[in-house]
Amino acid sequence: MTRNSNYVSYSKIYLHGEGSRIRYWFYGFIILLFIFLFLPWTQNIRAKGTVTTLRQEQRPQQMNTIIPGKIMKWHVKEGDFVKAGDTIVQLTEIKDDYLDPSLVSRTKEQLTAKELSVDYYQSKVEATKLQINALNAGKNLKQNQLKNKMLQLQLKVQSDSMDLIAAINDFKIADVQYKRQKTMFDSGLVSLTQLEQRNQVYQSAMAKKVSAENKLAATRQDLIINQIEMNSVEQEYAEKISKTQGEQFQSLSQIATGRGDIAKLQNQYTNYSIRNGLYYITAPQSGQVIKAKKAGIGEIVKEGEMLIEIVPDKIQYATELFVRPVDLPLVAKGQKVRFLFDGFPAIVFSGWPNASYGTFGGIIVAVENSVSVNGKFRVLVAEDPNDKPWPQQLKVGTGANGIALLKNVPVWYELWRNVNGFPPDYYKSSTEQKKSKEQ
């Protein structure tokens, strides 16, 4: 033993009689652990998601056919970049209703003919209006003539009545004188010649009386005929006007029917014109062509069938995260989030975000109120303009891990919380607190 102790290795390995420093290291470790427990720790919740776009029109969109047809020519191939309005594919018609190459022009001719027909009927309506006005004017003129004639006949009836009264008076006087003369003749006071003279006067008075009666009766008859003629004129012109109005209404009905046909033809003409423009499918926006579903020339495509997809070239990136329902109350619009994108190296200290490297900042812009099919709530996060910009190499669909930063607490509190299974502390900024108080 004494001889072995002379070796240097023996003195390095067997430290007999030397003091141990393990307890000092142990005390130092305890002190460091105690100090570590009081260091600040940023609570956080993690969620996985993918890169998407902030606006839905910037996401990959399908190019679908509006009408069925047959592929005539492809103007692009997969991977090509196109601008808005560039032709993607050209189709030809397959429905027999639209095979006529002059369908649009023929429909236009039908529309023009129908419009001319309506114009003709409109002119006929105007002509019937003039005809009705002329009939009304002729009716008024004829009625005025008959009214004047009636007035004349009424005056003549009065005149003939006066003549009849005078003739009756003369007859009565002649009758009395004749009877008196006959009595005197029978008494022999007058001669036969005087009796015959008086008889002649009597007969003449009787003839005038009968003539006056006949004349008055004839005048009254003319008055009745004039009244009948007035009624006949009223009926005649009413029939003519009704017939003309019937033609007018028939023309108006034809105009209404024609206008309906014009509207229908205009609809067809517009549909045919628009359909001609649908044979060329153009890019709605600039981007890259991907996922061509049809390959060859002459393939039939159905209505609404997908042809290709276009990935827009101008994208405002965002990230969609899926948060557990238990963590949903801890996220809110405007909250800051840190990201780790797949393919971009990063060193992350979850409790000390300032010490992390390779993470990117974001701000929550929307929190959906409906649960997704995976049982989690979708949160949309946009790029933080006050932080470093996101990588330009990002693509839609890239995986992302989000870290929502919460309240700063000591390390011992975070350990105690995790041991007991308590949720993280919900932290509200002063601005949010003011808003909640105001509400």
What would the DSSP string read from start to end of 272-322? HHHHHHTTEEE-SSSEEEE-----STT-EE-TT-EEEEEEESS--EEEEEE
Domain covering 61-93+279-311: architecture: Beta Barrel (2.40)
% of residues, the chain, pLDDT over 70: 82
Residues 6+ apart with CB under 8 A from 261: 114
Q: Residue 439: its pLDDT value, please?
A: 46
Q: Residue 1: its pLDDT value, please?
A: 47
Q: Residue 351: its pLDDT value, please?
A: 53
Question: What is the amino acid identity at position 315?
Answer: I
What value does the mean pLDDT take over residues 392-405?
Answer: 78
CB distance 326 to 86 below 8 Å: no
Q: How far is it, in rounded angstroms, from Cα 312 to Cα 206?
A: 124
Tokens 């005087």 belong to which residue?
Answer: 194
What value does the mean pLDDT take over residues 1-22?
Answer: 57
What value does the mean pLDDT take over residues 55-72?
Answer: 86
Q: Apex CA 310: angle with CA 304 and CA 314, to 5°?
A: 140
Q: How far is it, in rounded angstroms, from Cα 369 to Cα 332?
A: 12
Q: Confidence class of residue 263 from pLDDT cuts 50, 70 and 90?
A: very high
Range from 250-254, 338-342, 416-420 that averages highest in pLDDT: 250-254
pLDDT at 314 over 50: yes
Coil, helix or strand at residue 36 = helix
What value does the mean pLDDT take over residues 25-47?
Answer: 73
% of residues, the chain, pLDDT over 90: 1
Q: Do the first three CATH levels of 41-54+316-438 and 61-93+279-311 match, i.e. the same topology? A: no
Q: How far is it, in rounded angstroms, from Cα 144 to Cα 234?
A: 12
pLDDT at 262 over 60: yes
Q: Which of 330, 375, 284, 225 is nearest to 83 (CA)?
A: 284
Q: Confidence class of residue 303 from pLDDT cuts 50, 70 and 90?
A: confident
Range from 155-164, 265-274, 385-394 that averages highest in pLDDT: 265-274
Sign of CA dihedral 45, 416, 429, 40: negative
CB distance 427 to 397 below 8 Å: no
Q: Is the pTM of this model over 0.75?
A: no
Q: Which of 60-69, 174-183, 210-219 has the lowest mean pLDDT?
A: 174-183
What value does the mean pLDDT take over residues 88-96?
Answer: 87
Q: Which of 110-124, 338-352, 418-432 has the lowest mean pLDDT?
A: 418-432
According to CATH, the topology of domain 103-277 is Helix Hairpins (1.10.287)
Q: Helices 411-420 and 22-37: crossing angle, nearest 10°?
A: 80
**Domain extents for the chain?**
41-54+316-438, 61-93+279-311, 103-277
Q: Confidence class of residue 267 from pLDDT cuts 50, 70 and 90?
A: very high
Q: Residue 410: its pLDDT value, please?
A: 67
Domain covering 41-54+316-438: architecture: Beta Barrel (2.40)
Q: Residue 435: its pLDDT value, please?
A: 47
Q: What share of the chain is helix, strand, coil (3-state, %, to 5)?
A: 50, 20, 25
Q: How far is it, in rounded angstroms, from Cα 159 to Cα 334?
A: 113
C-alpha dihedral, 279 to 280 to 281 to 286, nearest 10°: -170
pLDDT at 430 over 60: no
Q: Residue 431: its pLDDT value, please?
A: 44
